[in-house]
Chain A
Amino acid sequence: MIELLKNRQIVLSLIILGGLIFMAIFANVLAPYAYTEKDLQNRLQPPSSDHLFGTDNLGRDILTMVMYGARASLFVGFAVVSVSLAIGVALGVLAGYYGGWLDEIIMRLTDSFLAFPSMFLALAITAFLGQGMKNMMLALIAVEWTVFARVARGSTLDVKTKGYVRAARWIGASNTYVIVKHVLPNIISPVLIMASLGIGNVILAAAGLSFLGLGVQPSTPEWGAMLNAGRTYFTTAPWLMFFPGLFIMMTVLAFNYFGDGLRDALDQKMKNLELEGRF
């Protein structure tokens, strides 16, 4: 754990992410206004000392909306990735560990999901289920789980051939025991790396769907929806789109940085293990 903090990428991204999460949790305390507060006299105000990020077409404070928007975006990111991870890892491990027809069925299913462009699939699902945050999340899960299934299967195939799995079987351990005690702990690092990169992707995709009007309802503050709302005023009041866009970029970048750093750190550890393992 301490070793992870030696990685500059990780530290930087953790600071940004920590700030964002803090902002999201304490939005009601930190925000200068209520996000429902409309001030029609001060519509489309440029950034000033009263409104640091300016105001939108209904006179709502953009900074407040960005802060509350972090809640929706981060929630969608974490929730979608957690559920996808659970589904994907479970299916991937089963496919990789047992192989045979189970592997064929699960992997062909994964392939058929992967065959569609992800945004198109998400669009089709939200169009089919109807708009709204819940349906958008379902759509994103449908896209995202395949990545975890693939990664988990690949890593499981690798771990399965290791001597300690065979050795555990030969002392009479059940398959469930081997999966829980040996396979899962040993495939978790690539999966965690994928998860940290996945959160960024999901936030971006959620913003994209909201931008297209398929995600969060415009009344709830969400970065993608804010972009959509600001579109009409882009030439006259660019701050409507600039600030939510900036936060989306920062968040996605931070998650990607975190994932990259995590990969480097864990790989390095693996390399050291290997080097030390050879006597």
Chain B
Amino acid sequence: MLKAENLHCVYTSGLIKTVKKTAVCGVDLEIFPGETVAIVGESGCGKSTLAKMLVQQLAPTSGEVFFEGTKLTGMNWNNLGKFVGKIQLIPQNPDDVLDPRWTVERSVAEPFVVCGGLSREEISENVDALFAEVGLSAEHKPRYPHELSGGELQRVVIARALALKPELLVCDEATSMLDVSVQAFIVAVLKEIQTKRGLGLVFITHDLEAAKAVSDRVLVMYAGEIVEEGKDVFDRPLHPYTRALLDAVRYASLDVVLQEEDRALPDGFLGCPYFRLCRERTVACKEPQKLRDVSGRLVRCWKS
């Protein structure tokens, strides 16, 4: 359904001395209808940048995104309009997506109003149905965003995203701001909607447990690259980084929480990005690493 080919994103800053930071580096990705893909990785590994590029909120430096065979990247806004609504982003901070001066009912109705063609009553019925679908009651409708809790807000955002009958939902850390019980609830709501509507779900998170619980397939990102991809990644991690990431949660291991300078690689280094931190590194790791197919699992490590 959604396919990304060789996506790169380089952020450039500074006027006189330009500093370039590669956020995403050569990501290939395909999402099939009705599938849940979790993208996990530490902060700053390029997860959110990837999400923004997938939903066309950010133009990739190079690489292409296709939706059902149509190339979305580089398309102008008028043509992109046809795909509007098919792919929706659910961001980390629901506060930000809702206009503080609008009641949540109006915010959820906005997609219908913008797309036009519906009467006031029809819009109202649709909004009611969406509120029910995400488990909100009618009493929430006339409230303003600041009068709702984080979990309720996130549900309002999900309801709004569902308005245009999307085929793919990209949840960018959609549960990170919420407490554990609410997180579980939102994840359950998302899963239920997915089963009911059969939509694709990209679940970006740093919460490994949530990723494991919801996903059909997991992508592990490190330094802008996919280092491991497969179905039972958490049960049988093959890449040293995936193992370190799991250990960090299980045993509070500090292997992945080292300082920036400890992990910095020399300029022009083309080898494994995890080289400096990897306990199992050898000279061969200085060579560029490709994603290798290891019994149905893609791993970017020659040792696996």
A117 lies within 8 A of chain B by Cβ: no
B93 touches A172 (CB 8 A): no
Interface residues as binary, B72-112 with A (CB distance below 8 Å gives 1, 0 otherwise): 00000000010011001101010111111100000100110
Report if A277-B145 is in contact (Cβ < 8 Å); known contacts: A163-B91, A171-B164.
yes
CB distance from A184 to the nearest CB of B (A): 11
A171, A173, A273: the one within 8 Å of B163 (CB): A171
Question: Chain A interface mostly helix, strand, loop or mixed?
Answer: helix
B96 touches A163 (CB 8 A): yes
B85, B107, B150, B164: the one within 8 Å of A279 (CB): B150
A276 touches B146 (CB 8 A): yes
Report if A168-B146 is in contact (Cβ < 8 Å); known contacts: A163-B96, A163-B97, A182-B99.
no
A166 touches B101 (CB 8 A): no
| Chain A: CB-nearest residue to B148 | A279
B57 touches A166 (CB 8 A): yes
CB distance from B177 to the nearest CB of A (A): 8
Interface residues as binary, B202-225 with A (CB distance below 8 Å gives 1, 0 otherwise): 000000000000000000000000
B115 lies within 8 A of chain A by Cβ: yes
Residues of A within 8 Å of B163, CB to CB, are: 171
Question: Complex formed: what's the CA distance from A170 to B164 in Å?
Answer: 11
6 other contacts beyond A171-B84, A171-B85, A172-B114, with CB at 8 A cut-off? Answer: A164-B98, A171-B163, A172-B85, A185-B99, A186-B99, A277-B95
CB distance from B81 to the nearest CB of A (A): 5
Question: Complex formed: what's the CA distance from A163 to B91 in Å?
Answer: 9
A167 lies within 8 A of chain B by Cβ: yes
A116 lies within 8 A of chain B by Cβ: no
Within 8 A of B (CB), among A126-148: none
A172 touches B84 (CB 8 A): yes
Question: Complex formed: what's the CA distance from A177 to B110 in Å?
Answer: 11
Within 8 A of B (CB), among A204-252: none
B110 touches A171 (CB 8 A): yes
B146 touches A273 (CB 8 A): yes
Question: Complex formed: what's the CA distance from A277 to B100 in Å?
Answer: 10
B147 lies within 8 A of chain A by Cβ: yes
B115, B145, B146: the one within 8 Å of A171 (CB): B115
Question: Complex formed: what's the CA distance from A170 to B84 in Å?
Answer: 6
Count of A-B residue pairs with CB < 8 Å:
56
| Chain B: CB-nearest residue to A186 | B101
| Chain A: CB-nearest residue to B163 | A171
A162 lies within 8 A of chain B by Cβ: yes
Residues of B within 8 Å of A168, CB to CB, are: 110, 114
Interface residues as binary, A255-279 with B (CB distance below 8 Å gives 1, 0 otherwise): 0000000000000000001001101
B149 lies within 8 A of chain A by Cβ: yes
A164 touches B84 (CB 8 A): no
Question: Complex formed: what's the CA distance from A182 to B99 in Å?
Answer: 7
Within 8 A of A (CB), among B138-152: 145-147, 149-150
Question: Complex formed: what's the CA distance from A157 to B110 in Å?
Answer: 22
> Closest 9 interchain pairs by CB?
A163-B96, A172-B84, A163-B97, A171-B111, A279-B150, A164-B99, A276-B146, A173-B114, A167-B97
Interface residues as binary, B156-170 with A (CB distance below 8 Å gives 1, 0 otherwise): 000010011000000
CB distance from B167 to the nearest CB of A (A): 14
CB distance from A160 to the nearest CB of B (A): 13
| Chain B: CB-nearest residue to A161 | B96
Would you give 19 A-B contacts (Cβ < 8 Å), ordered by A?
A163-B93, A163-B95, A163-B96, A164-B99, A166-B57, A167-B97, A171-B84, A171-B85, A171-B114, A171-B115, A172-B111, A177-B114, A185-B101, A186-B101, A276-B146, A276-B147, A277-B95, A277-B146, A279-B150
B40 lies within 8 A of chain A by Cβ: no
| Chain B: CB-nearest residue to A162 | B96
B55 lies within 8 A of chain A by Cβ: yes
Question: Complex formed: what's the CA distance from A155 to B97 in Å?
Answer: 18
CB distance from B164 to the nearest CB of A (A): 6
Residues of B within 8 Å of A276, CB to CB, are: 146-147
Question: Complex formed: what's the CA distance from A169 to B146 in Å?
Answer: 22
Report if A170-B91 is in contact (Cβ < 8 Å); known contacts: A164-B99, A277-B146.
no
B150 touches A164 (CB 8 A): no
Residues of A within 8 Å of B149, CB to CB, are: 279
Interface residues as binary, B49-61 with A (CB distance below 8 Å gives 1, 0 otherwise): 0000001010000
Question: Complex formed: what's the CA distance from A133 to B99 in Å?
Answer: 43
Residues of A within 8 Å of B93, CB to CB, are: 163
